[in-house]
């Protein structure tokens, strides 16, 4: 977008002040977008534990946003991946992410789109 403004800035219909104002506004908008992107990345990093550090039951329940009692039930039924070390139950965040992905519920619309994409790929590769 900024490159377009540089190119169009020399347009005879636009005065020099108008071109500079428009360019500065575009730069400001782009900076705002970058700021929002960085803020999102920073909050993700702050809120998400390191995937290498194991989580205890409290941390894992917060990570999954479920009560500890529910998580204990999942452990007892072996529904969620965990490790027992010296009697302590530990969870690897990457394993919990996979657990969430496997148990993800998709809408009918998403199922239809996925089926169409797979069918399209199958037809495309047959040629």
Per domain, the residue ranges of the chain are 2-47, 50-127
Long-range contacts, stretch 15-20, CB < 8 angstroms, 24+ apart: none
pLDDT of 105 reads 83
Mean per-residue pLDDT over the chain, rounded: 81
Tell me the CATH class for 50-127.
mainly alpha
From residue 102, give the alpha-carbon distance in Å to each of 12, 51, 97, 98, 124.
Answer: 59, 18, 9, 6, 28
Cβ(93)–Cβ(81) below 8 Å: no
Q: Give the model confidence (pLDDT) of 43-81 as tens digits.
A: 665 555 556 799 999 999 999 999 999 999 999 999 999
Q: What is the pTM of this model?
A: 0.49
């Amino acid at each position: 977008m900024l490159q377009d403004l540089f190119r169009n800035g020399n347009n005879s219909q636009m005065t020099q002040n108008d071109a500079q104002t428009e360019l500065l506004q575009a730069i400001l908008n782009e900076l705002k977008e970058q700021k929002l992107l960085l803020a999102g990345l920073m909050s993700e990093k702050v809120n998400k534990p390191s995937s290498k550090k194991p989580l205890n039951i409290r941390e894992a329940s917060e990570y999954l946003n479920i009560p500890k009692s529910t998580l204990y039930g999942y452990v007892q039924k072996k529904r969620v991946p965990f490790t027992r070390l010296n009697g302590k139950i530990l969870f690897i965040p990457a394993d919990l992410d996979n657990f969430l992905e496997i148990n993800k519920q998709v809408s009918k619309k998403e199922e239809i789109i996925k089926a169409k994409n797979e069918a399209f790929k199958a037809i495309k590769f047959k040629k």
